[in-house]
Homo-oligomer: A and B are copies of this chain.
Amino acid sequence: MAGYVSEAVIRRLPGYYRHLCELEAMGVKQISSQEMGRQMHLIPSQIRQDINCFGGFGRKGYGYNVTSLRQHIGEILGLDHPHSVIIIGAGSIGSALAHYPDFHGETFDTKALFDIDPARVGTNIGGVPVYSMEELDSYLASHRVDIAVLCVPKEAAQEILNRLEAGGVSAVWNFAPLDLQHETDRMLVENVHLSDSLRVLSYRMAHQDGDAPKE
């Protein structure tokens, strides 16, 4: 495995992975970086350079084997082994995620939802049982949880984060509308900001008539 890999490269890997999955589904066996660049609106040398960060792959003048490269990038992304997932907060975002097909697969498997609302506790959403927030600590004591998805109001986030860490959760995917900073070695935090991509769109709309950059 490579040494230092830049944040920008890591952020591009899921895009390559998605694109390769689509090519595979269409029955494409082989692809050149030129063709992939054209399809993905990226410079071919950028693609080659990104992929080379993780060891040589592909043959000059022959291109990439789609399935091998998809598997290779999947392994780099850690998608070749299962992750158990819980969702904290069964409001609109938490419920939407519980219905999300990617959360009911071999890679990410959603085991439980937790909520404070007694009306939701005991039901199931998208096939996932809803437990009371009071049951969280004992659940964590008896189940291995790889990823906790945090879908709670801003005010509740920090206290729950502390409980998740105490319970041995490996990583948090945070939808609460604040940047959770978590500096310990024991738990990773990835903050999701839906509005950021909306604001990028707003930027493009504002700059459409001339000085807009091209992707």
Contact = CB atoms under 8 A, between A and B. Distances in A.
B96 A203 contact: no
Interface of A: 1-8, 10-11, 13-15, 17-19, 22, 41, 76-79, 83, 91-93, 95-97, 99-102, 107-108, 126, 146-147, 170-171, 173, 177-179, 181, 188, 190, 192-208, 211, 213, 215
A45 to B, nearest CB: 16
Question: Which 10 A-B pairs have CB atoms at the shortest separation, nearest pair first?
Answer: A78-B206, A92-B96, A14-B196, A190-B201, A14-B199, A78-B202, A96-B96, A92-B99, A93-B96, A77-B203
- Count copies of this chain in the complex: 2
Contacts of A18: 179, 193, 195-196
Contacts of A213: 4-7, 10
A200 B11 contact: yes
Nearest to A95: B92
B96 A199 contact: no
B195 A78 contact: no
A173 B188 contact: no
A173 B199 contact: no
Contacts of A171: 201, 204-205
Given A78-B205, A192-B197, 16 more contacts: A10-B203, A11-B196, A14-B197, A15-B193, A17-B199, A18-B179, A77-B206, A78-B202, A92-B95, A96-B96, A102-B195, A102-B198, A107-B202, A147-B205, A170-B205, A171-B201
A5 B13 CA distance: 23
A1 B195 contact: no
A6 B8 CA distance: 13
Contacts of A101: 177
A51 to B, nearest CB: 14
A3 B211 contact: yes
